[in-house]
A and B are shown apart, each in its own frame.
Chain A
Amino acid sequence: MSNFMSRKDLTLFLGFAAVVLLLPILATPFGAAYPDLLQRFMIFGIFAVGFNILFGLTGYLSFGHAAFFGVGSYAAMWSFKLLSLNAIPAILFAVVMSGLFAVAVGYVSLRRSGIYFSILTLAFAQMSYNLAYSVLTPITNGETGLRMTLSDPRVIDGLFTSASGAPVPSLFGMSLSGWNGFYFTAIFLLATFFLSMRISNSPFGMMLKGIKSNQNRMNYTGFNTRPYTLTAFIISGMLAGLAGSLLVVTDPLAGAERMQWTASGEVVLMTILGGVGTLVGPVIGAWLIKYFENIFSSFNDNVLNNFYSFLPDGLREVVVAVSGKFVGEGWHLSLGLLFVLIVVFLPGGIMEGVRRIGARFGHMRKGSKSSARVGATAAVG
């Protein structure tokens, strides 16, 4: 094992795996322990971890990653419609398709860096989104979104059984709804996390960090940086496609709005919130945002009234009215504020906060020796 993974990494991975697999229990006190939500924790965790390989390690800020997510969704759906209800071919097909799309987009966009790269990726994503809504309607079914029907051919399934009942994705006949779906997606998150750890600790990952830190030096050091960035881009696009396909597995509807730039912005947000360039950060960011979205947005005035029931009537109404703007329909407002605060005060995201707190405790225990490295934690950008 030691040749393959250091003890520290093994501990991190096992700890992460334990948290993920025990989520149904751990999330209970937060009222988040239902499969639908936890599936999305896993799926967007994959999306964010993949995005981080490009943005966090390599330093290229893509504003169009939702396009790969969307391509993954559509590809998986077509596999369900044409080939089989089995999730495995759907996922494979989705990963391949989004990977091919990433080759094309990455090849063009990576010719530029900085904001020009961001705008190029944004442009490709907006084109995909607009086309999905207009001329590509035969493939995407436009605004309605693509879903399965009984009359789909499903050639592979047709060889073995005759269709019966409403079509739902499965794994070799095993249903993927509910907790099954959660564990199915959880395995993919663990695999993705493992891959991200491997990349980050490998020489390849060190080259990516070198590109982020000083591309000029990398060139004069003898590296051809373009294939490195392209590889990172493709890996990250394929993981986005994987996430997109898993979303279709658990919720069989593929719509164009998943490719919109707001969806691309969301994954940026998740990564920043958790901590750019860290291993666990993007996952935490994704979980927090999905948690806010689902739990926070379901708050309404009744819930708030109960919450503030200790306040006198007049005051309570005011407080409820004001805080009502931040929850329910207005949860995006809280999200935006949180986002601004994080970037202003904690650009390294939650992981940097954890590190600072950890360092403070270490500081108290060990005296003044350990603070030197904290000041130099990796910056965003």
Chain B
Amino acid sequence: MQTNKNVVLHVADVHKHFGGLHALSDIDLQVKEGETHAIIGPNGAGKSTLLNVIIGRLAPSSGAVVFDGNVLTGRKPHEINQLGVARVFQTPEIFADLSVIQNVMTPAFAKRDGAFKINMFSAVENERAIREEAEHMLEDVGLIDRRETHAGALSRGDKRRLELAMCLIQKPRLLLLDEPTAGMSRHDTNTTIELLKKIKSRGMTKVIIEHDMHVVFSLADKITVLAGGRIIAEGAPDEVRGDQRVQEAYLGGAH
């Protein structure tokens, strides 16, 4: 039944080796529109390498990454973003010196004005549409009361919410999340999962790189399991959970 949906991201037969070390082999995966696709695996499985290949930071030794008909390999980060890919980092990357509302307005400008525009003849406070949009976004993630706070002063959990808001305001076609709950307290992890679930209902396509199984099983529609740089299993959460190889390579080994 999912076959009718468009493939948004296609990692086509990607290999990546560093010298003699094969970090990724035969990686082929398709992410369909509206799907939350998780990529999991034990440490050293090649998750970060794969993410870097997807985002164009590393060139694959062979194969290609195609997003919505565009090859991503070799493009600069801002070009990839302008194509409609937003990214959440392992440690939240925000503008610590700007206020919370400015943090969210900035990506809205990138969406509206493109990669470069000398826009110095209007004042930020007169950009009402963008401000309203940003406030709306902050309400969504529960940071509206802190809109004038310096972002650097936020707690880690709040920084993650802010970063999500910064990505979501661009209405990306694809959202990449790199271990969104890494290093978080149980409480922050739970609130972040709640927030991600809330977003999920909007039908945005997401790729989550994660090693916390708890996070993955509560969010993902489809899971790809990596080990030793190869895909060892792929399928719906329940299928993957029951897969013998996964339990050996991942659950048995790591936990």
Q: Do chains A and B touch in the complex (CB under 8 A)?
A: yes
A interface with B by C-beta (< 8 Å): 3-6, 9, 198-199, 201-207, 209-210, 212-214, 216-225, 227-228, 231, 372-373, 375-376, 378-379
Whether A201 lies near B106 (C-beta < 8 A) is: no
A222-B97 in contact (CB<8A): no
> Is B170 positioned at the interface, with any CB of A under 8 Å from its CB?
yes
Contact residues of B between 84 and 120, Cβ < 8 Å to A: 86-87, 89, 93-98, 102, 105-107, 109-111, 113-120
**Which of B4-12, B147-155, B192-200 lies at the interface?**
B147-155
User: How many B residues touch the partner, as a band?
Assistant: 35 or more
Contact assessment for A223 and B93 in the assembled complex, using a CB-CB cutoff below 8 Å: no
The reply to whether B95 and A224 form a contact with Cβ atoms under 8 Å apart is no
Q: Are A206 and B120 in contact (CB under 8 A)?
A: no
Q: Which residues of B contact A9 (CB under 8 A)?
A: 123
**B-side contacts of A209, CB under 8 Å:** 95, 97-98, 102
Q: Is the CB of B76 within 8 A of A219?
A: yes
Given contacts A206-B106, A221-B166, whether A372 and B149 have CB atoms under 8 Å apart is yes
Offer 14 A-B interface pairs, CB within 8 angstroms, sorted by A: A198-B123, A202-B124, A203-B122, A204-B119, A205-B120, A209-B98, A209-B102, A210-B95, A214-B95, A219-B76, A220-B81, A222-B78, A222-B111, A376-B152
Task: Report if B127 contacts A (CB, 8 A).
Answer: yes
Q: Compute how far the CA of A173 lies from the CA of B6 in the bound complex, rounded to whole angstroms.
A: 73
Complex Cα distance A184/B223, Å? 70
B82 at the interface (CB under 8 A from A): yes
Minimum CB–CB distance for B152 against chain A, Å: 6
Of B98, B127, B170, which one neighbours A203 at CB under 8 angstroms? B127
Q: Do A202 and B78 touch across chains, with their CB atoms under 8 A apart? A: no
Q: In the complex, are the beta carbons of A6 and B110 less than 8 A apart?
A: no
Residues of B contacting A199 in the complex (Cβ-Cβ under 8 angstroms): 120
A210:B126 contact, CB within 8 angstroms: no
16 more CB-based (< 8 A) A-B contacts, given A6-B123, A203-B120: A6-B125, A201-B124, A202-B121, A203-B109, A206-B106, A209-B102, A214-B93, A217-B94, A218-B78, A221-B166, A222-B110, A224-B116, A228-B116, A373-B148, A375-B153, A376-B153
Q: Is the CB of B152 within 8 A of A202?
A: no
Contact B120 A217 (CB under 8 A): no
Is B96 in contact with A3, judged by CB distance below 8 angstroms? no
Q: In whole angstroms, what is the CA distance A379 to B96 when docked?
A: 10
Question: Is there a chain A Cβ closer than 8 Å to B77's Cβ?
Answer: yes
Bound CA span A279–B245, Å? 62
Residue of B nearest to A378 (CB): B97
Interface string of B117-145 (1 = CB under 8 A from A): 11111111111000000000000000000
Closest residue of B by beta carbon distance from A199: B120
Please state if B110 and A202 are interface contacts (CB–CB under 8 Å): no
Contact of A206 among B77, B89, B102 (CB under 8 A): B102
Instruction: Give B residues with C-beta under 8 Å from A.
Output: 76-78, 81-82, 86-87, 89, 93-98, 102, 105-107, 109-111, 113-127, 148-150, 152-153, 166, 170
Complex CA distance for A231 and B116, rounded to whole angstroms = 11
Q: Which residue of A lies closest to B166 (CB)?
A: A221
Neighbour of A216 across the interface among B76, B93, B111, CB < 8 A = B93
10 interchain residue pairs of minimum CB distance: A376-B150, A222-B81, A222-B110, A224-B115, A219-B77, A204-B120, A213-B95, A202-B120, A213-B97, A217-B93
- Name the B residues within 8 Å of A203 (CB-CB): 109, 113, 119-120, 122, 124, 127
Quick check: B78 and A214 within 8 Å, CB to CB? no
User: Could you say which residues of chain A place their CB within 8 Å of the CB of B121?
Assistant: 198, 202
Q: How far is the CA of A26 from the CA of B95 in the complex (A)?
A: 40
Residues of B within 8 A of A223 (CB): 78, 110, 115-116
The reply to whether A198 and B94 form a contact with Cβ atoms under 8 Å apart is no
Is A206 a contact of B78 with CB atoms below 8 Å? no
Find chain A residues with CB under 8 A from B76 CB.
Answer: 219, 224
A213 x B98 contact (CB < 8 A): yes
**Shortest CB distance B113–A (Å):** 7
User: Which residue of B is nearest A216, CB measured?
Assistant: B93
Alpha-carbon gap, A3 to B127, bound state (A): 10
**Complex contact A221–B81 (CB within 8 A):** yes
Complex Cα gap A279–B88 (Å): 33
Report B74 CB to chain A, min CB distance, Å: 15
B122: chain A residues within 8 A (beta carbon): 202-203
Is B125 in contact with A201, judged by CB distance below 8 angstroms? yes
Contact, CB under 8 Å: A373 / B150? yes
User: How far does the alpha carbon of A372 sit from the alpha carbon of B77 in the complex, in Å?
Assistant: 35
User: Quick check: A220 and B119 within 8 Å, CB to CB?
Assistant: no
Name B105's contact: one of A6, A206, A219, A227 (CB within 8 Å).
A206
* Residues B97 and A212 in contact, CB atoms below 8 Å apart: yes
- What chain A residues lie within 8 Å of B115 (beta carbons)? 222-224
- What residues of B have a CB within 8 angstroms of the CB of A224 in the complex? 76, 78, 115-116
Least CB distance, A348 to chain B, in whole angstroms:
12
Contact of B123 with A222 in the complex, beta carbons under 8 Å: no
Residue in B87, B96, B123, B153 whose beta carbon sits within 8 Å of that of A5 in the complex: B123
Select one of B82, B89, B109, B126 contacting A3, CB under 8 A.
B126
B119 contact set on A, CB distance < 8 A = 202-204
Chain A contacts for B114, CB-based, 8 A = 222
Q: Which residues of A contact B87 (CB under 8 A)?
A: 220
CA distance A209 to B152 in the complex (A): 14
Contact present for B98 and A206 (CB under 8 Å): yes
Q: Are B118 and A204 in contact (CB under 8 A)?
A: yes
